[in-house]
Amino acid sequence: MALELHIPPCIRTPTHPRHPPQFASPLRIQIEGPLTSIQKLFPEVPWNLEDLDFPQPAGPMLARLAYQVIYGRQDRADVANDLIVRDEYLGWVREERPRWVIDYYGVTFDHLVPADDPDPEVLQINIFEMDYDEGLPEGIGSAKVLFKEEGHNRSFKSE
């Protein structure tokens, strides 16, 4: 069973003006984490590391999932620049054999960012797998991402 990506609401009162991001505002979003975590989200998705196609099949899926969790809705194929995959990151393992092994993956996508905007607002989500859900120390971090799996909560935190 695939795990579920969850970003909880802002815990500040009043809420921070950019958490959650405003749907109508342009935003570049990058989400990345250990390959094992990405594979838990999309267990059936193949990885093609020998003939590198851009993007990997999981890239648009991870972008759509992050979009859906952040904005609470599906992306709109009929709206220009609603969700455009711009880049992906593959963290290559240098010591491993066979030669084509990664252990980290990320995707960058734009939401309503004009093509001529050289410096858009950016939301960075880093996924770190944890065995418990104790939260972050006071004053650290901006988002905690939870993966839920049949009676277990696995905590992933983004800073």
- Give residue 80's identity as a one-letter amino acid code: A
pLDDT level of residue 150 (50, 70, 90 thresholds): very low
Residue 156 has pLDDT above 50, yes or no: no
Is the pLDDT score of 141 beyond 90? no
> H helices of 5-148, where?
35-41, 58-71
151 or 15: which leads in pLDDT: 15
pTM, rounded to two decimals: 0.76
- Burial call 2-33: b when 16+ CB within 10 Å, e when fewer: ebebebeeeeeeeeeeeebbeeeeebbbbbbb
Domain locations along the chain? 24-130+142-149
Q: How many whole angstroms separate alpha carbon 36 and alpha carbon 43? A: 9
Q: What is the mean pLDDT of the chain?
A: 80
Peptide bond preceding 98 in cis form (omega within 30 of 0): yes
Rounded Cα gap, residues 15 and 93, in angstroms: 40
If one compares 105 and 151, the residue with the highest pLDDT of the two is 105
